[in-house]
Amino acid sequence: MKAWLLAHLRAFSDAWRRLAAQPLAAGLSVLVIGIALTLPLALAQMLVQTQRFAERFTGSPQVSLFLAMDVAADQRQALETALRAHPGAKSVRFVGRDAALADLAKSAGLGDVAQALPANPLPDAFVVDVRGTSAATLEQLRRDAAALPGVEHVQSDHEWARRLDALVSLARSAVLAVAVLLAAGLVAITFNTIRLQILGRRAEIELAQLIGATDGFVRRPFVYFGLLQGLLGALVAWILVAAIAAALDRELAVLNRLYGSALHFGLPAPLTVAGLSGLCALLGALGAALSVQDYLRRGLSK
Amino acid sequence: MLTLSHVCKRYPGGIEALRDVSLAIERGQLVLVEGDSGAGKSTLLRLLGAIELPSSGSVLVDGQNTRALGRRALAALRRQFGVIFQDQKLLFDRSAFENVMLPLDIGGFERREAQRRARAALDKVGLLHKEKALPVALSGGEQQRLCIARAIVHRPRVIVADEPTGNLDETHAQRVLEMLDSFNALGVTMIVSTHDRMARERLDGRRIRLQAGTLSEASAAVA
């Protein structure tokens, strides 16, 4: 275990030393990776903020449950409890039939008509604010509510939620496609960088193999090099994304003042930054590992 | 300990470097492989050092057939040898000390112990005072001694030396041969290929002769 750890520490320090020994070449590779990663990261951040803004702008989708006329108070109470317990429900509001009639009379200017009615035709109702904007959540809540005893009719404004969902899904797919392409680019850049390094160190590698180096011993420093390059590339990308965010937020602040909106670009959560940086590092390591493997496969027969 | 049985080695292009060679080398022996250039001496040494694999026949090292080993096991086997290459294979962008450290890095030695051993090996060949020098700053004899230091630093059981005195003047060659002799006296199996007359006269051990890939005289051939 100790020997294994020592071998990895040695390979890591070797990789770091080689990165530092060629600041220009390594710096340019890191910059290219950083710029390539900036596009999907910035687009993803823009998508997240657009989605949040859309949620705030349009408000939560609602489901209205109209009860049967003969629903007793205790049954109504049970219904309210069931609705509040539903994972898709953010808040539940009861609208009594008298309040609904009064509201109708007031909002539609139908006061005279309402007074002329022999009896109140409106049922009791619950208005449920849905958690999130997912069309799937909305649909699930609608179905569950419709199945509850005493509920006669359910109405939901799920069309706009579906449209928003479809738009977000389309944008997410586009970002994902760009991200996959650029991730492949990162792997290719690292593959090529490492291939050039291998060519430069071919004598050393061949000697090491002749005197007993395993494939792992040969591979390790290059994989760490690729890992560091990917990580530094991600760091550059985040710096660029932060710069873009700062520039856009200045412009958005003007719009926000004019329109009373709350648009901003911002930065992702630290956990997201760490996770994506780790992913970039892994992609760099993958490119390096593939490059060394390709060399080893074409090198000594055994 | 080292056994070759009906070994043939063919290279791409149809060149047959070794033909039906059978040979057994016991632990602690000093074996001098003689023969003209192109006789197959280097090929034989590469097969004995598990650097190459035979095209047919078998090479057994302590009973392990090199052809049957996987990459990892073959690498582990190679670490048991100390090899002095004919073309030296020094790393010219690394100091003498770093060149000698390489087998220890590969062997996974602890850093401090590795440094101690590397300095001891350099001291043994009289190059400790030049540990920071790049190989290009060393003379031919010093470069050869550096190769020897790299070959002995991990205390191998077998040293395979391919023309260790080639291109050296008499004084330097004499010193290298004394070193090889002293390692053998410590119990290390030595397999030395040479066509150098002085080496043949100076080294006292078992002699085998290769001629056009065939073992023409051997004192311990196996069936």
pLDDT tens by residue, B75-121? 999 999 999 998 999 999 999 999 999 999 999 888 899 999 999 99
Report how far residue A68's alpha carbon sits from residue A147's, in angstroms, rounded to the nearest whole number. 13
Q: Decide if A207 touches B, using CB distance below 8 A.
A: yes
Q: Taking chain B, what is the end-to-end CA distance rounded to the nearest angstrom?
A: 16
Q: Do B83 and A210 touch (CB under 8 A)?
A: yes
* Residue of chain A minimizing CA distance to B156: A211
Domains of chain A in start order, with CATH, are 7-56+163-298 (no CATH), 62-156 (3.30.70.3040)
Amino acid at A221: P
Q: Are strands B56-61 and B64-65 parallel, antiparallel or unpaired?
A: antiparallel
Q: Decide if B53 touches A, using CB distance below 8 A.
A: yes
Q: Which residues of B touch A209 (CB under 8 A)?
A: 75
From the CA of A200, how many Å to the nearest CA of chain B?
11
Q: Do B76 and A212 touch (CB under 8 A)?
A: yes
Q: Do B91 and A204 touch (CB under 8 A)?
A: yes
The pLDDT value given to residue B222: 38
Is residue B104 one of the residues assigned to a domain?
yes
List beta partners, residue B33.
Answer: B193, B208
Q: Decide if A215 touches B, using CB distance below 8 A.
A: yes
Please choose, from the candidates A197, A133, A144, the residue with its C-alpha nearest in 3D space to the C-alpha of residue A168: A133
Across the A:B interface, residue pairs with CB atoms under 8 Å apart total 56
| Residue B197: burial class (beta carbons within 10 Å; 0-12, 13-18, 19+) | exposed
Please choose, from the candidates A115, A67, A117, A114, the residue with its C-alpha nearest in 3D space to the C-alpha of residue A94: A67
Which of B 155-174 lie inside 8 A of A, CB atoms?
none
State percent of chain B over pLDDT 90.
Answer: 64
Range of the domain at B123: 93-153
Which of B 93-132 lie inside 8 A of A, CB atoms?
94, 102-103, 105-108, 110-111
Report how far residue A244's alpha carbon sits from residue B123's, in angstroms, rounded to the nearest whole number. 60
Q: In the predicted model, what is the mean pLDDT of chain B? A: 89
The pLDDT value given to residue B29: 93
Is residue B32 one of the residues assigned to a domain?
no
| Of residues A10, A207, A214, nearest to B72 (C-beta) | A214
| Of residues B75, B80, B110, nearest to A213 (C-beta) | B75
Q: Do B51 and A210 touch (CB under 8 A)?
A: yes
Q: Do B106 and A217 touch (CB under 8 A)?
A: yes
3-state DSSP call for residue B13?
Answer: coil
Residue B218 pLDDT level (bands cut at 50, 70, 90): very low
Q: Decide if A302 touches B, using CB distance below 8 A.
A: yes
Angle at the Cα of A134 from the Cα atoms of A128 and A139, rounded to 5 degrees: 60
List beta partners, residue A92.
Answer: A128
Number of domains chain B is built from: 1
The pLDDT value given to residue B132: 95
| Residue B69: burial class (beta carbons within 10 Å; 0-12, 13-18, 19+) | middle
Q: Decide if A201 touches B, using CB distance below 8 A.
A: no
Hey, CA dihedral for A300, A301, B1, B3, is it positive or negative?
negative
* Residue of chain B minimizing CA distance to A4: B108
Average pLDDT estimate for B169-195:
87
Who contacts A40 (Cβ-Cβ below 8 Å, separation ≥6)?
A: A175, A178, A179, A182
* Residue of chain B minimizing CA distance to A1: B108
Q: Is the ipTM of this complex over 0.90?
A: no
Average pLDDT estimate for B118-139:
94
Per-residue tens of pLDDT for chain A, all 302 residues: 677 888 888 889 888 988 888 888 888 889 988 998 888 888 888 888 877 776 665 566 788 889 988 888 888 888 899 989 998 888 899 998 888 888 877 766 676 777 777 788 888 999 998 887 677 888 888 889 888 888 988 887 666 666 777 787 888 888 888 888 888 988 998 899 899 889 988 899 999 999 999 999 999 999 999 999 999 999 999 999 999 988 888 888 888 888 777 778 888 888 888 998 999 999 999 999 999 999 988 865 34
Q: Which residues of B touch A207 (CB under 8 A)?
A: 89, 91, 102
The pLDDT value given to residue A207: 94
In this structure, are residues A273 and A279 in contact, taking their beta carbons and an 8 Å threshold?
A: no
* Residue of chain B minimizing CA distance to A297: B71
DSSP class of residue B52 equals S
Is residue B219 one of the residues assigned to a domain?
no
3-state DSSP call for residue A86?
Answer: coil
- For residue A246, the surrounding DSSP H or E stretch is helix A215-259
Q: Do B91 and A3 touch (CB under 8 A)?
A: no
Is residue B137 one of the residues assigned to a domain?
yes
Q: Do B108 and A6 touch (CB under 8 A)?
A: yes
The pLDDT value given to residue B221: 39
Amino acid at A273: V
Is residue B213 one of the residues assigned to a domain?
no
Each residue of A215-229: b (16+ CB within 10 Å) or e? bbbbbbbbbbbbbbb
The pLDDT value given to residue A42: 87
Is residue B148 one of the residues assigned to a domain?
yes
Is residue B60 one of the residues assigned to a domain?
no
Amino acid at A276: L
From the CA of A167, how many Å to the nearest CA of chain B?
53
Is residue B159 one of the residues assigned to a domain?
no
Tell me the H-state helices in A87-214: 97-108, 111-116, 135-146, 158-200, 202-210
Structure-token pair, residue A220: 């390790």
Q: What are the CA-CA distances from residue A11 to residues A158, A216, A251, B107, B160 (Å)?
A: 56, 10, 47, 14, 29
Q: What are the CA-CA distances from residue A104 to residues A108, A116, A123 (Å)?
A: 6, 14, 13
Selected for mutation to probe chain A from B45, B89, B100 (highest A CB count within 10 Å) is B89
In this structure, are residues A166 and A136 in contact, taking their beta carbons and an 8 Å threshold?
A: no
The pLDDT value given to residue B91: 94
Each residue of B143-153: b (16+ CB within 10 Å) or e? bbbbbbbbbbb
Q: Do A6 and B107 touch (CB under 8 A)?
A: no
Please report how the helices A135-146 and A158-200 are oriented relative to each other, as an axis angle in degrees rounded to 10.
Answer: 140
Q: How far is CA B155 from the centre of its chain?
A: 13
Tell me phi and psi for residue A300, to 5 degrees: -60, 145
Please choose, from the candidates A149, A151, A95, A142, the residue with its C-alpha nearest in 3D space to the C-alpha of residue A122: A95
From the CA of B131, how many Å to the nearest CA of chain A?
19
Q: Is pLDDT at B198 greater than 70 in this prediction?
A: yes
Please choose, from the candidates B218, B91, B82, B90, the residue with its C-alpha nearest in 3D space to the C-alpha of residue B162: B82
